[in-house]
Amino acid sequence: MRFSRVRALIYKEWREILRDRLYRLMTFGVPVLTFIVLGYGVSMDVERIPFAVLDEDQSALSREYLHRFLDSRYFDFQGIAPDARTLDALLADSRIRFALIIPPRFQRDLLAGRSVAVQSLIDGIFPYRAQVNKGYVSAINAHFSTWLLENYLMERGFSQEAARRTIQPVRLETRALYNQAVRSRWSMGSGLIMLVLMFSPPFLTALGIVREKEQGSIYNIYASPVSAGEFLLGKLLPYVFLSCINVFLLWILATGLFGAPFKGDPVFFLGASLLFIICTTGIGLLISLLARTQAAAAILAMVLTFIPAILYSGLLVPVESMDAATRFQAQLFPAFYYLQIVWGTFLKGLGGSVLWDKVLILGFYALIVWLIGLYSFHKRPKR
């Protein structure tokens, strides 16, 4: 292996990237653009749900109750409806996602010490949103009930202290570790680094190699003294290098734009990221062995990297809730391990002492992928 040849190939690759408008965009624009678009787009923090109310009681207490919803940042008040039919129409039109019906005699029954059923109508088109919406409503109802009961008991001679103890025998102290406010922007902002590094290096490397096959310029390489190893190294190193720059850029965006904290060891994170990039560049090499045209390479890269990164990494769909076969499949992709390293270093503040097994798996993965790639790439293509 001669380094001067590798250097010449790296220079050639670099010129090619810079000279083609589309490849320039793919290399420099797409990773960062994807990151920003997805970081804003993939958010599950459901807030400001538009809702309307039918208040059949129109009492002081019903207004007090309604205010609990008006003051919540989770709901966005759209107005009072005159009747239930209007609520149905508003729901059908998606102008509101949730409607509250306060029944007549709301105040009278509650003051008389009877429970009141309050109906909430929830748009179930998006099941996750419906579940979160239900949770918000139940929380407000529970708060209001506690307040009602406390007053009720105090009127019956309980001290405030005793009333509170009676109503609240058990409290649940929830601690959201690593992400105290449970912001999906923190999870996504850091987790998306995985997504970008999973799809962008394979895309670029596969297209880089297949382009030469498709245009026939690979025959120049076949006829030259450059060895297969030198060719691949010259081809892949620029993309590894560019992806390393991307890691820095994405890191700055994740912490700066999306406000995710970085609590762990930066050297460890960079080392693990480099290993992951080597892994995914190797996947690009394998794709280039399978595909003859750039279109086929792009589709293959999409199927083998982008889709697993979204569906099987744990970024959106929890791996724990998959069935056994799907979970096994998820563990076959390096994205699953690297995502744990990303979240571990960013949010949990962990280092190599806990995450070493994931790094080991990535290293092993990289080794296998590259060995298969080097072994199967021949300068003399079999017919």
Residues within window 245-284 making contact with other proteins, judged by CB under 8 A: none
- Do 258 and 189 form a contact (C-beta atoms < 8 A)? yes
Whose Cβ is closer to other proteins: residue 42's or residue 287's? 42
Whose Cβ is closer to other proteins: residue 5's or residue 183's? 183
Q: From the CB of 246, what's the least distance to other proteins, in Å?
A: 16
Quick one: CA dihedral 36, 42, 45, 47, positive or negative?
Answer: positive
Q: Is 174 in the site for other proteins (CB under 8 A)?
A: yes
Q: From the CB of 329, what's the least distance to other proteins, in Å?
A: 9
Q: What burial letters (b/e) apply to 151-177, b meaning 16+ CB within 10 Å?
A: eebeeeebeeeebeeebeeeeeeeeee
Quick one: CA dihedral 281, 282, 287, 289, positive or negative?
Answer: positive
Q: From the CB of 313, what's the least distance to other proteins, in Å?
A: 11
d(CA 338, CA 151): 53
Whose Cβ is closer to other proteins: residue 224's or residue 357's? 357
Q: How many CB atoms lie within 10 A of CB 234?
A: 20
Q: Which amino acid is at 352?
A: G
Q: From the CB of 113, what's the least distance to other proteins, in Å?
A: 5
Whose Cβ is closer to other proteins: residue 303's or residue 367's? 303
- Lookup: tokens for 46: 């459901």
d(CA 94, CA 49): 11
Among 208, 314, 334, 373, binds other proteins (CB under 8 A): 314
Q: Is 145 in the site for other proteins (CB under 8 A)?
A: yes
Q: Which amino acid is at 281?
A: T
- Across the chain, which distance is largest between two alpha carbons, in Å? 98
- From 221-229, 271-279, 337-345, 369-377, give the range in contact with other proteins by CB under 8 A: 337-345
Q: Which of residues 7-26 bind other proteins (CB under 8 A)?
A: 22, 26
Q: Is 157 in the site for other proteins (CB under 8 A)?
A: no
- Lookup: tokens for 29: 């624009």
Total of residues contacting other proteins (CB under 8 A) = 113
Closest CA to 98 of 80, 121, 76, 119: 121
Among 179, 246, 273, 281, binds other proteins (CB under 8 A): 179
Q: Which of residues 339-378 bind other proteins (CB under 8 A)?
A: 340, 343-344, 347-348, 350, 354
d(CA 365, CA 253): 28
Q: Is 207 in the site for other proteins (CB under 8 A)?
A: yes
Q: Is 130 exposed, middle or buried (0-12, 13-18, 19+ CB in 10 A)?
A: middle
Whose Cβ is closer to other proteins: residue 18's or residue 64's? 64
Whose Cβ is closer to other proteins: residue 4's or residue 115's? 115
- From 171-179, 266-274, 275-283, 375-383, give the range in contact with other proteins by CB under 8 A: 171-179
- Do 49 and 97 form a contact (C-beta atoms < 8 A)? yes
Closest CA to 150 of 140, 141, 160: 160
- From 3-11, 169-177, 226-234, 236-244, give the range in contact with other proteins by CB under 8 A: 169-177
d(CA 195, CA 114): 54
Among 176, 223, 225, 375, binds other proteins (CB under 8 A): 176
Q: Is 224 in the site for other proteins (CB under 8 A)?
A: no
Q: From the CB of 305, what's the least distance to other proteins, in Å?
A: 11
Q: Is 194 in the site for other proteins (CB under 8 A)?
A: no
Q: From the CB of 245, what's the least distance to other proteins, in Å?
A: 20
Q: How many CB atoms lie within 10 A of CB 51?
A: 29
In the block, residue with structure tokens 């940042």? 73
User: Using CB under 8 A as the criterion, what x/- string covers residues 109-128 for binding other proteins?
Assistant: xxxxxxxxxxxxxxxxxxxx
- Do 79 and 224 form a contact (C-beta atoms < 8 A)? no
d(CA 94, CA 116): 28
Q: Is 290 in the site for other proteins (CB under 8 A)?
A: no
Q: Which amino acid is at 156?
A: R
Q: Which of residues 32-91 bind other proteins (CB under 8 A)?
A: 34, 37-38, 40-50, 65, 89, 91
